[in-house]
Structure 1
Amino acid sequence: MSISTDHGRSDPESGAPARTRDGRPVSDRGDTVCVIGAGASGLTAIKNLTEQGFGVDCYERETGVGGAWNWRHDRSPVYASTHLVSSRPFTQFPDFPMPDDWPDYPHHSQLLGYLERYADHFDLRRHIWFGTEVARVDPVAGDRWDVTTRSTGGYGPERTSRYAAVVVANGHNWSPKLSSYEGLAEFRGEVMHASSYQDPAQLRGKRVLVVGAGNTGCDIAVEAAQQASRCWHSTRRGYWYAPKYVFGRPADQVDDTLLALRVPRRVRQWLHHLTMRLTVGDLTRFGLPEPDHRVYETHPIANSQLVDQVGHGRITPVADVARFHPYGVELADGREIEPELVVFATGYLPRFEFLDPRILGDDAGTGRPTLWLNAFPPGHPTLAVAGLVQPDSGVFPLSHWQMVLFARLLRLRVTRPDRVAAFATTVGARAGERYSGPVKDSSRHWFEVGHADYLRAVQRALHDLEKPR
């Protein structure tokens, strides 16, 4: 394993070995920055920090890069047929384009290969400690951080290192959000969360109930329509099912044209509703519930096949689940069905097990941090969270610009402390700011951002940080 620099330095100020608050020895890493996770957000953090001259130690609990896109990882939510739901130009890193001959919506295996080439192109692997998980991150004097690590799985002794800054990039799509239903414990059928779904063979020949209408839930319902003997799809409300192509182009590219022209949100909503009426028609005719919100008020569902399978009778839309019985499921409208397999595609909750949630402004521990730009917590100028966004486009470009901003902020701590102080004041005043317009109040939409509005906000922050004297 290769690393960025040697461990084991003494405290640079006192010359004595550094210690944790409870007296354990600490390896002081000087100006080195700790990055937690080597997925897409962690990789772009390493790349942008090293470009600004910082040493970086990245800790990755798995044995390879890629994070959620590495299907070999235990925590990966990827399944065999996973493709991007955002098109290639809106997913790629701005300084490392995907190949021009790739499809509009690449397969997950292509995404993993892309991230591996990104790591190799920028020589990032030498900064990564693979097979190492972070147990604790504690703030110490001087806006520094004690990071305690151990071998993945808890084997071997723990070690603590002191860092000038920390980037949290452990992802937010790995800890399943599990629903609680009356009678679920007595249900005799098979129950699984979508995080355990990998292949359509798990559905073959079974009566399947899919609960949840996010992009994953819709994908699994479509695959159940093709493989299962019966498929029910349960949703809490009606949704807008956007096709992946509009006018022969990826739908997000068409919408981005309107965003670039600064077309008002209400006008874009009207145009989207008109397009849906002309192409898909009235969804209630298929038995799907009518949406209780306007488009863009929930996370976009990009699926060109779900309505088609409903129209062919292969998917039966049903109401929300009310309760379970030993051999059946009672729905909110009183109907009862008898699935053999229930798949909960109910999403994920962000978890930062190594960090006191109060540091991120989540005093109640509900998984809803209070951050500015979804990245910066008040009171901790050397801590940033990368990739904690749910955009209407790809995440990679947003993570890239988050880390450009953070790397430059850290560099200015020496040369322009007045700018850094002004930035900290802004973080305290604007933490919790949203960049999505009105959206449904749910854990799924807590991190929702409109990519155009969000990137403009990051651009303004960069300008304010680096404007001429």
Structure 2
Amino acid sequence: MNDEKIHDCGDAVCIIGAGPGGLCMARALKRQGLSYEQFERHSGVGGVWDIDNPGTPMYESAHFISSRDLPGFLDYPMPKHFPDYPSNRQILEYVNSFAHAFGLYANIRFNTSVDKVFKRDDGRWLVTLSGGEQRLYRAVVCATGCNWDANMPEVKGQFNGEIRHSVTYKKAEEFKGKKVMIIGAGNSGADIACDAATYAQKAFISLRRGYHMIPKHLFGLPVDEISEKGPQLPIWLTRIAFQLILRVINGDVRRFGLPKPDHKLFESHPLLNAQLLHYLQHGDIQVKPDVSHYDGDHVVFKDGSREQLDLVLYATGYKWSCKYAADYFEWKGGRPQLYLSIFSRQHHNLFGIGYLETNSSAYKLFDNEAHAVACYLRDQLHHPERARQFDQLIAHDDPDLSGGIDFVKSQRHEVYLEVHAFKKHLRKVRQQMGWSDLEEGYYSVLRQHSGYVPVDLPQTA
């Protein structure tokens, strides 16, 4: 390796990705006075929220699954003129405005992907960019997200119709005049099924398991707002309260053909979607069991029934990956095994932002993750003894972040954590390490303007 062609960036940190997680990381490093460089393969910030970003799973009808007033970045709430559940365009505008408000654009190199990271013998990280340029950093933060590589289950048989993954889906008009089936009932699968119910000639949704269905509003308020701002009850009592409410509101949803959940409420992601029930009630979409095999023009189901279809759309999630650094992550059940879902236990100064599954909105969690990384990296320069103390936590600390919930044993739940347990443990770590706490006003010193400034986005064709 010819070191003469390598640009040594000294103590700077490399951030890969300029979606919400990467922007949180940039702001946290900036707040700690640490130098960094950020690379984004697309032409703008926003990650998956930019429907023009190649490979994004975003579609026109997508809305934020969390409500407006809870999930925003610390010290940068979503504007009050947004609806309770903002659209994907509004979230993209919000993320762009956030980057402008905190002066984060200056350090982002757009249209530049990272092809590979390599850990040298001296512990520093060599980053190879698209085009072959190589730059050397003391740390790498992977913030490129989890929703890019489609997970396509194998099904026996030959189907004469069209088979696609939901990552290719963009607009409801794609269903016009077709007999369509959606496989999978995660929140995006349920959304797309509602589009099919409205536009398709005939619509079905195939479910492998049952889900607890929670409406987005209860008593006129966003349901997550009630959960977060209401009394913090023991999980068993919260479960009983919600089950009673859902029994009154929804009744027994098995009458629509939906299977009974095989798990207790909160042991897996509930389905936040009242529209799907509406379309089931009106017969605009029908429930089918898991697929057995394909047979020419027909899909055959495990109960022996069959349907002639034109299009099968798999809403079956994504394979988590980090291709440029895959060899440096320990994978279990398709999920990277990291301390607090952030810190590599095997490789010093390799971090991940957003490699978690949780029962809450993400952006303030990203803030919590990024703050911990930034405090640790600052300690390495200014408080090395304290940094070595945290090294011991990375190596040996193994907290229970389940919050007392026995999560479903599945690949998705390999890194699942309960948000209150996670935040409580991070507060404990901050106190133990003598790090500053995350409170309102912490980032105000970085604000370049007051108030919310909307950003004009290009019109999508």
User: Do both share a fold (TM > 0.5)?
Assistant: yes
Question: 1:42 aligned to 2:31?
Answer: no
Report SS of the residue matched to 2:321: coil
Report SS of the residue matched to 1:148: strand
Please name the residue that 1:136 is paired with.
116
Question: 1:222 aligned to 2:191?
Answer: no
Length, aligned pairs only: 435
Question: 1:360 aligned to 2:340?
Answer: no
Please name the residue that 1:167 is paired with.
141
Please name the residue that 2:450 is paired with.
none
In structure 2, what is the Cα distance between the partners aligned to 1:467 and 1:80?
42
Please name the residue that 2:447 is paired with.
none
Amino acid in structure 2 at the alignment position of 1:285: R
Superposed, 1:289-304 pairs within 5 Å as: 289-304=259-274
Please name the residue that 2:276 is paired with.
306
Provide closer, same or farther for how the CA distance between residues 137 and 88 of structure 1 changes in structure 2, counting only shifts above 3 A: same
Please name the residue that 1:12 is paired with.
none
Structure with higher RCO (Cα < 8 A, 6+ apart): 2
Report the CA distance between 1:142 and its aligned residue.
4.1
Question: 1:116 aligned to 2:96?
Answer: yes
Q: Structure 1 length as normaliser, TM-score?
A: 0.89
Amino acid in structure 1 at the alignment position of 2:317: G
Structure 1 counterpart of 2:255, from 285, 290, 294? 285
Does structure 1 conserve the Cα–Cα contact (< 8 Å) formed by 2:401 and 2:418? no
Structure 2 counterpart of 1:444, from 398, 412, 436? 412
Question: 1:52 aligned to 2:36?
Answer: no
Amino acid in structure 2 at the alignment position of 1:368: R
Please name the residue that 1:456 is paired with.
424
Superposed, 1:202-213 pairs within 5 Å as: 202-213=174-185
Does structure 1 conserve the Cα–Cα contact (< 8 Å) formed by 2:146 and 2:355? yes
Please name the residue that 1:3 is paired with.
none
1:183-216 per-position Cα deviation (integer Å, ceiling 9, x unaligned): 1xx2110111110110000111211111001001
Superposed, 1:56-135 pairs within 5 Å as: 56-135=36-115
In structure 2, what is the Cα distance between the partners aligned to 1:88 and 1:221?
24
Structure 1 counterpart of 2:220, from 248, 259, 282? 248
Amino acid in structure 2 at the alignment position of 1:417: P
Please name the residue that 1:412 is paired with.
379
1:58-94 per-position Cα deviation (integer Å, ceiling 9, x unaligned): 1111111100111110121110011011111222001
- Kindly, what percent of the aligned residue pairs are identical? 33
Does structure 2 conserve the Cα–Cα contact (< 8 Å) formed by 1:379 and 1:424? no
Does structure 2 conserve the Cα–Cα contact (< 8 Å) formed by 1:38 and 1:58? yes
Does structure 2 conserve the Cα–Cα contact (< 8 Å) formed by 1:409 and 1:465? no
Report the CA distance between 1:445 and its aligned residue.
2.6
Report SS of the residue matched to 2:22: helix
Report the CA distance between 1:414 and its aligned residue.
2.4
Please name the residue that 1:181 is paired with.
155
Report SS of the residue matched to 1:446: helix
Please name the residue that 1:348 is paired with.
318
Report the CA distance between 1:417 and its aligned residue.
2.0
Report SS of the residue matched to 2:37: strand
In structure 1, what is the Cα distance between the partners aligned to 2:396 and 2:430?
17
1:379-419 per-position Cα deviation (integer Å, ceiling 9, x unaligned): 33312101112222211110111111110111111232222
Report SS of the residue matched to 1:425: helix
Report SS of the residue matched to 2:389: helix
In structure 2, what is the Cα distance between the partners aligned to 1:265 and 1:397?
22
Please name the residue that 1:5 is paired with.
none
Report SS of the residue matched to 2:392: helix
Q: Structure 2 length as normaliser, TM-score?
A: 0.91
1:30-54 per-position Cα deviation (integer Å, ceiling 9, x unaligned): 0111000000001111111112112
Does structure 2 conserve the Cα–Cα contact (< 8 Å) formed by 1:378 and 1:431? no
Does structure 1 conserve the Cα–Cα contact (< 8 Å) formed by 2:14 and 2:36? yes
Report SS of the residue matched to 2:118: strand
Does structure 2 conserve the Cα–Cα contact (< 8 Å) formed by 1:329 and 1:336? yes
In structure 1, what is the Cα distance between the partners aligned to 2:219 and 2:195?
26
1:309-338 per-position Cα deviation (integer Å, ceiling 9, x unaligned): 111111111100111111111111111111
Please name the residue that 1:9 is paired with.
none
Does structure 2 conserve the Cα–Cα contact (< 8 Å) formed by 1:40 and 1:396? yes
Q: Name whichever of 232-241 and 95-104 sits farther off.
A: 95-104
Report SS of the residue matched to 1:381: coil
Which consecutive unaligned segments of at least 5 residues does structure 1 have? 1-18, 151-156
Report the CA distance between 1:432 and its aligned residue.
8.4
Provide closer, same or farther for how the CA distance between residues 80 and 356 of structure 1 changes in structure 2, counting only shifts above 3 A: closer
Structure 1 counterpart of 2:356, from 389, 414, 417? 389
Please name the residue that 2:300 is paired with.
330
Amino acid in structure 2 at the alignment position of 1:316: Q
Structure 1 counterpart of 2:242, from 272, 281, 287? 272
1:271-295 per-position Cα deviation (integer Å, ceiling 9, x unaligned): 1111110000001112111111111
Report SS of the residue matched to 1:93: coil
